[in-house]
Chain A
Amino acid sequence: NAGVMQNPRHLVRRRGQEARLRCSPMKGHSHVYWYRQLPEEGLKFMVYLQKENIIDESGMPKERFSAEFPKEGPSILRIQQVVRGDSAAYFCASSPGSSQETQYFGPGTRLLVL
């Protein structure tokens, strides 16, 4: 049973470009969480999705950030017109349900904005 997969592992973008981060949850998991980790900081919740639905996006910046989890395929975190402050590690986690049990984390995507 493969773990949570994220790609790319490293992503370099220039200011103003778009960044697309992908997350494939563990097999059988239909709940996906995205977190962001700034340097020397803990992880901060961004968004929680179930298949085809955004359930909680209270941690998402209001502009330029969007997320989806289509019926088929991975979950996507999309950052438009990236700025240097978007440089961070972005982690995806999945769980089989939302019953406050363990979340399984992917290896993260490290985004560097030049």
Chain B
Amino acid sequence: SQQGEEDPQALSIQEGENATMNCSYKTSINNLQWYRQNSGRGLVHLILIRSNEREKHSGRLRVTLDTSKKSSSLLITASRAADTASYFCATPTGANSKLTFGKGITLSVRP
């Protein structure tokens, strides 16, 4: 399996529900980042959590990081139809900070 693997691969929920997405990684990291990609568009940076942080909030987003389990979760509360997108976790690797992405999670929020 690759660095930065998300699960589930696809998630369908009703508007107003919470969405939880998970990411696992293999190597040591300095930080982990979550991005959103709307269909046919570029990536939007959502949140960065550093290796010495356990939890971080940004609006309706909550990210946790468990370095002992090499995993992170992204929680979107009170989801909206506009949250429909693909979500990727990414970790910088090497001295040059190139990002390694997972395959992404496709979130569908039904109105």
Contact = CB atoms under 8 A, between A and B. Distances in A.
B33 A102 contact: yes
B41 A108 contact: yes
A101 B49 CA distance: 10
Nearest to A107: B42
A94 to B, nearest CB: 12
Chain B's interface size range is 20 to 34
Interface string A44-58: 110010000001100
Given A42-B88, A100-B30, A91 B42 contact: yes
Interface of B: 4, 30-31, 33, 35, 40-45, 48, 88, 90, 92, 94-104
The 8 closest A-B pairs by CB, nearest first: A42-B101, A107-B42, A105-B43, A100-B92, A45-B98, A100-B97, A43-B101, A42-B103
